[in-house]
A and B are shown apart, each in its own frame.
Chain A
Amino acid sequence: MDLIPRLPINRWTDIGINYLQLKFGTSFDALSAFLKSMIVSLQDLLLFIPPALLITLIALLSWKFANKKVALFSIIGMYLIYNVGLWDATMQTLAMVIGSVALCILVGLPLGILSAKKEAAHRIISPILDFMQTLPAFVYLLPAVTFFHLGVVPAVIATLIFAMPPVIRLTDLGIKQVPEELVELGKSFGSTFYQMLFKIELPLARPTIMAGINQCIMLSLSMVVISAMIGAKGLGGEVWRSIQRMEIGNGFEAGLAIVVIAMILDRITQSFGKSNE
């Protein structure tokens, strides 16, 4: 067994990370500043809207895209959150989730399309996604802190790593699942690459892609709690503090708020996925 000496993967990793930090530290700082301002402005916006108005807006959204029951649930749930004094924390969490999911879609959707269209890209992307999905979150939380310091930014980065894979995978799958005959239809009428994509493939892949985005939202929400350990505030921060102080009741309230947010977002995005006919 001992044919070769122990491989110092741990040292290599440390050296690599140090090198990246020295070499690209300023670039990371710029990225960090950008992400931070994005999340903070989102947060400010959500906190600027009066709670009553926001609750109404979310209820209307649920009604339009899902159904009356979901609308009713969102009114009761959101009021409950307001009532127990978790409104600000919830808005912080919501800002992080919305920001992360937007970035996941912005990056994940084109990568998914690339992966579906080019077999070579698929062969490179697929193992990276396996890596992202199976590597324990705690392992990359620390390097995220070294690059982006404590706070909301490393939390968003960790969330991207954790929640982006389903967007890429299901976009890839959705496009590959478009029936052969419809692909032939597009080609036989002389469609260009982008006509194929926007008129045939993406519309037909929409339910599958929406399932990916739905997964992405759920994973983002669960990551929010974990990333409280590296200084992200919001509902995760409330849970984390309650754990440290053994305040079981407060922890439960914060946990309940996360469940409410998760259910509302899930029902709304699921209804996006249903095809219009």
Chain B
Amino acid sequence: MSKIEVKNLSMIYGGNPEKALEMISDGYSNDQIRKQTKQVVGIKNVSFSVDTGEIFVIMGLSGSGKSTLLRCINRLNKPSAGSIIIDGKDISKVNPQELRAIRREKMAMVFQRFALLPHRTIRDNVAYGLEVQGITREERYDKVMDVLTMVGLDAWVDYYPANLSGGMQQRVGIARALATDPDILLMDEPFGALDPLIRQDMQDELIEIQKKLQKTIIFITHDLDEALKIGDRIALMKDGEIVQMGQPEDILLSPATEYVARFVENVDRSRALTASSVMVKPRSVVYPKDGPRVALHVMERFGMSGLFVTDRTGVLMGYVLADDAGRISDTGQRQLDSIILKDVPSVAPDTSLANILEVIAHTQIPVAVVDEKNILKGVLVRGSVIAGLAGQRRGGINGSNTKIAD
């Protein structure tokens, strides 16, 4: 079951949203609504759901409504219409006491500019969430040490935020969010204010922490590379609406609109795309019991100078070259065993293109894509890798299963 379910959520800035909501359902544009009602549309008719343990990335340029949306989920913004159901309860309708309890126990937020209290030590900053819950000093300081150790800052407990670098400050912010052990983390461009190198470290660290803790994370960013790296799924927002939602590669390979296409144009594809998205179907394989003549025949038919060899269950055994097959066929040998090249370059389906390029540069024969059981899934030929890097719209052999938001 999904952890967070957002249905037809709209949020209008400025009192009495009725008129503006009506105009939204009549299909007026944000500009028209603003001119007629003097109200600003924050988000309109947004629906999505997030599963437990998933990192859901909301991406968009500034003013696209992504932060507004995030703040609806812990109700720092009160939605004008629609529902946000968390564990079966509609956040947009709970009373102040219930809301406070949910904010204390279920969710925590990480802020773009860290939002550390300058008058408190790192220890007391991290303890803040526990403190408002009324947990005793000893208990909260124990917990603080746990989470600070997790982010590698246990030596800094007695310092003040001003003594720490930006990256360290955000680690404190993350530790503070983890201290109350919430199910849900709301992260508002948490790495946006950091230097690129630090940002990458922090991304890796978040991924590591997530492996251990399996939180449900909603992550806001305007950086597509970051979204592709971190997100299990990505929603792209524009003018308060979700224009496309899907897995990272869906968005990259099959942009739903011109806007999305422009957005993904400049992404570093070699890091974002993986082997599985650019591999081609192994057009033909032979089995070890097939003789050299069969192999030669197949190669001739497809105009290739070599073939992959697998067993009946698809496990990769090696590669045979046309030259070798011709040679043993002349000598009358009937088995391929002696000429199978066992040392075939292979990669896993989730290897990034950046890493594949290195492999491909050092080999003359195609690169095999195999899963963890060594079953041949596909083949990487130079042409398909280059096409992938160039951003041609073509799905992998799995086909693309892009979900497009209405």
Contact = CB atoms under 8 A, between A and B. Distances in A.
B129 interface: yes
A181 interface: yes
Interface in A58-88: none
Given A190-B103, A191-B132, A185 B118 contact: no
A182 B115 contact: yes
Given A189-B128, A189-B180, A184 B111 contact: yes
A275 interface: yes
- Specify which of A179, A184, A188, A277 lies most central, judged by the most chain B CB atoms within 10 Å of its CB: A188
Nearest to A184: B76
A189 B115 contact: no
B109 interface: yes
Interface in B157-207: 160-162, 180, 186
B281 interface: no
Contact of B119 (A185, A190, A195, A275): A275
B129 A204 contact: no
B132 A190 contact: yes
- Specify which of A184, A185, A187, A200 lies most central, judged by the most chain B CB atoms within 10 Å of its CB: A185
B131 interface: yes
A276 interface: yes
30 contacts: A179-B113, A179-B115, A182-B115, A184-B71, A184-B111, A185-B111, A185-B115, A185-B117, A187-B76, A188-B74, A188-B103, A188-B108, A189-B103, A189-B108, A189-B109, A189-B128, A189-B129, A190-B100, A190-B133, A195-B132, A199-B117, A199-B131, A203-B117, A204-B119, A206-B119, A276-B119, A277-B119, A277-B160, A277-B161, A277-B162
A205 to B, nearest CB: 11
A194 to B, nearest CB: 10
A182 B176 CA distance: 13
Interface string B94-130: 0000011111110111011101011100000000110
Interface of B: 71, 74, 76, 99-105, 107-109, 111-113, 115, 117-119, 128-129, 131-133, 160-162, 180, 186
Contacts, number: 68
Contacts of B160: 277
Q: Classify chain A: how many residues form its interface, as a range.
A: 20 to 34
Contacts of B162: 277
B109 A190 contact: no
Contacts of B113: 179, 181
Given A189-B129, A277-B162, 14 more contacts: A179-B115, A181-B112, A182-B115, A184-B111, A187-B103, A188-B107, A188-B108, A188-B109, A188-B186, A190-B129, A192-B132, A199-B128, A203-B117, A277-B160
Given A189-B132, A191-B132, A277-B162, A184 B115 contact: yes
Contacts of B115: 179, 181-182, 184-185
Contacts of A277: 118-119, 160-162
A276 B163 CA distance: 13
B182 to A, nearest CB: 10
Given A188-B76, A189-B104, A192-B132, A275 B109 contact: no
A49 B129 CA distance: 47
A184 B113 CA distance: 12
A204 B180 contact: no
A189 B102 CA distance: 9
Contacts of A187: 76, 103
Interface in A229-277: 275-277
A187 B129 CA distance: 10
Contacts of B131: 199
A195 to B, nearest CB: 5
A33 B323 CA distance: 116
A184 B115 CA distance: 9
A184 B108 CA distance: 11
Nearest to A191: B132
Contacts of A199: 117, 128, 131-132
